[in-house]
Amino acid sequence: MITFKDISIIIPVGPEENELEALWEDLRPIEKEAELIVVRGSSRAKQLNIGAQKATRDFLWFLHADSRFSHNTLEALLRSLSNNPHALHYFNLRFLPDGPPQMWINEIGCWIRSRLMGLPFGDQGFCLSRINFERIGGFPEEAPYGEDHLFVWRAHQHGVPLKSTGATLKTSARKYQEQGWFHTTGLYYKLWTRQARLERETLKRILRYQTTAIAVFVKTPGITPLKTRLADTIGKESALAFYDLCLEAIQKTLSPFRQSTPALVYPYWAVAEKQGLSDHRWNDFNRVWQGNGDLGERLHHVYSTLYFVHGRVILIGADAPQLSQDALLETHHLLKDKNKFVIGPARDGGFYLFGGAKALPQHVWNSVAYSQPSTCDELVTKIKSYGEVAYLPTLTDVDVYEDLPNLKSELQNSQMPTQMEMMNWIETTLTGECIWKT
């Protein structure tokens, strides 16, 4: 059951907004549980994104400063999140009695727009998981208006479902009173329908495809020991240098996927430590926590979480920097067949890549003995009853000093600068020109 200890509440406050005291009174029952973040400024989208960056909880609830609600609203949010943790949640909207009498018409229009068209707006209190917020890409700061409307369209485009909590959130109608009901209502309708026409075409293009998540399993330096068996030979400092080079090579390999339009492949850092999610090393991709437990449980957690969002998932380690974009694209295309799994066997008997487009029960992951010469064969045996297995070429994932010559050989044909830098580092290490420290 999700509680408010899992939620960061982000409240953007504009230069002329002063209703925060009333909202604070409504938040008082949960102020000791939830993380409350107030962001002041003039750009609403930037405020919301800054608040999300500062947040440390798993779920983000975006509230306007003039929002009002009851204790029933809080209970409804927790129920809705617990039942549908992967959705973008919103509330029914009612207006405070500070506007013109025609606001009941706007309330009906809001219900139609939200429930029938799937287009709630920001004053309806968006709440979603951090992973989905990052996957959507945050609120578009370049938009001259309607950042909340565009955010919802991006959610649709990324396959994030919408869910009404069934409860009510109230907001001020003062702007309608000050600027005129007919003028303000007509202006908002004109602006959001103009945006909707453009975004609908983008959504149609994306729905022709299915997206793939690539999750790189990583550990955060300074929190968890790294490459310990390699460090036993070349020293901790050199092992950390190797790890950093691996991360840089993988980041450069995956970055072009993120920049394509429409995006069909989404890179993630799957971070071992919950406290490591905010580390600067992981800022360039979306982040997902590996979860608790042994390796089988963590593989299951990441795979099932991303499968629900994307439909296709590729899991890779951080110690195979020779992995190419071509191999990842080949895996992405192979997974268009939902009855196919893809395995990249490692020379030590493990695997450097796993890809699937079908849900797998947790017992499959838990029944494999990891870090053994038989690991890959065991996994293949377990998944064969769920679908066909396709193989990529065997590669080296580096655990010990003796793996470095094979990695150097596999990097020979690479033209990427980061992979060439890795090859040079290996050559220097193998010829003993670096200073090892223990």
What is the rounded CA–CA span in Å between residue 92 and residue 217? 39
What is the rounded CA–CA span in Å between residue 294 and residue 300? 10
CA 110 centroid distance within chain: 29
> Over 80: is that where the pLDDT of 49 sits?
yes
Q: What is the mean pLDDT of residues 303-329?
A: 90
Assign 437 a pLDDT band (cuts: 50, 70, 90): very low
Assign 277 a pLDDT band (cuts: 50, 70, 90): confident
> Over 80: is that where the pLDDT of 117 sits?
yes
What is the rounded CA–CA span in Å between residue 361 and residue 300? 8
> Over 60: is that where the pLDDT of 207 sits?
no
Superfamily of domain 212-430: Spore Coat Polysaccharide Biosynthesis Protein SpsA; Chain A (3.90.550.10)
Tens digits of per-residue pLDDT, 345-388? 999 999 999 999 999 999 999 999 999 999 999 999 999 999 99
Instruction: Name the packing angle between helices 147-157 and 181-206 (round to 10°).
Output: 20
User: Are both 4-206 and 212-430 of the same fold?
Assistant: yes
pLDDT of residue 18: 67
For residue 261, give the DSSP letter: S
Assign 260 a pLDDT band (cuts: 50, 70, 90): low
Question: Which tops the pLDDT comparison, 437 or 216?
Answer: 216
Instruction: Identify the residue whose tokens are 């149609």.
Output: 204
> Over 70: is that where the pLDDT of 435 sits?
no
β-bridge pairing 340-345 and 388-391: parallel
Question: Which tops the pLDDT comparison, 181 or 216?
Answer: 216
Residues 74 and 30: beta-carbon distance below 8 Å: yes
pLDDT of residue 352: 95
- Of 25-29, 191-195, 337-341, 374-378, give the range with the top mean pLDDT: 374-378
What is the rounded CA–CA span in Å between residue 135 and residue 395? 30
Q: Which fold has domain 4-206?
A: Spore Coat Polysaccharide Biosynthesis Protein SpsA; Chain A (3.90.550)
Residues 281 and 240: beta-carbon distance below 8 Å: no
Peptide linkage before 100 cis (omega within 30 of 0): no
Across 185-196, b (16+ Cβ under 10 Å) vs e yields: beebeeebeebb
Give the domain ranges of the chain: 4-206, 212-430
Q: How many residues does the chain have?
A: 438
Q: What is the mean pLDDT of the chain?
A: 88
Q: What is the mean pLDDT of residues 394-421?
A: 88
